Amino acid sequence: MQTRRALLFMPGDDRHKIEKGAALGADAVIMDLEDGVALNRKVEARQQVAAALREVHFHLTERWVRINALHTGWAEEDVQVVVPAHPDGVVLPKVQTAQQVQDISHHLSLVEHKHDWPEGHIRLLAIIETARGVMNLREIVESDPRLDGLIFGAEDLAGDLGATRTTGGAEVAYARGAVVLHAKAYGLQAFDTPFVDLSDMTGLESQTREALYMGYDGKLAIHPRQVALIQKVFTPDADAIRRAQHLIAAHHAQQAAGSGVFELDGRMVDQPMVRAAETVLARARAAGIDVDSV
């Protein structure tokens, strides 16, 4: 599956910001038609995004569009105007049921059929940001083969709960864990909520590392300055790669000698630790690193 470490949001009605985001080297950009656009600029934003998809060079960056939530009545027109310009995928906010994912997938199929594109060519990401969405995660992850992953939205969820957002995030901890757990149980990617304090890069790094340790594949960015740090955290460095290689090599040697659990550098090593090391190497390869040359 595509490497998606940092997914950068940008307002869909601002061509300058879209062009700037396209040149940053982010794994993915999400041109926003929802919260980032005022109500009286929705029509203009659709046209701007469609034009940007046709005219802007995004290099190797994936091109996503966050449409409006289904309950607003704007989502279908978002798809009709923007998707013919051929984004890589659509981000659906406020997902609460499997039926919502299936409804958008149906509309995408109609566009694909009209343009003779392969069925399922346009991918989907679902944002889980309501209490009902969290409660229906099992049905949502099973909903449609077009679905590539889940995005956790802490800010909207806290509002839906009537909770107060805190630095520690205890109020959304259950949901944050549930999103990544359900995604990984069904072979989907999981993307962590954005860090909203643009002046606190230390806090961003800390929260991004938390997401990495939880099993998330990437994190949303809401400002260009966040992209490089997020992608760095989700990319194993040379020391991490060498440690993983050392552990896997030792495991192979022990297996050949008929030994299962063994001691390495003062620690007991068993199969879960081997799988964790293999995950480190897989992340490095997905980021384009030749691990054999490290």
Q: Taken in order 35, 192, 75, 80, is the CA torsion positive or negative?
A: positive
Whole-number Å distance between alpha carbons of 5 and 221: 10
CB-facing half-sphere around the CA of 212: CA atoms within 13 A: 21
Whole-number Å distance between alpha carbons of 123 and 23: 22
Pairing of strands 28-32, 262-264: unpaired
Whole-number Å distance between alpha carbons of 219 and 231: 9
Residue from 35, 34, 39, 45 nearest 12 by CA? 45
Residue from 294, 11, 35 nearest 156 by CA? 35
Cα dihedral 70, 222, 283, 173, rounded to 10, equals -70
CB 166 within 8 A of CB 138: no
Give helix 224-233 / helix 201-214 axis angle, nearest 10°: 40
Whole-number Å distance between alpha carbons of 60 and 288: 12
Active site residue 103: no
Catalytic residue of the set 192, 270, 290, 292: 270
Please list the active-site residues.
270
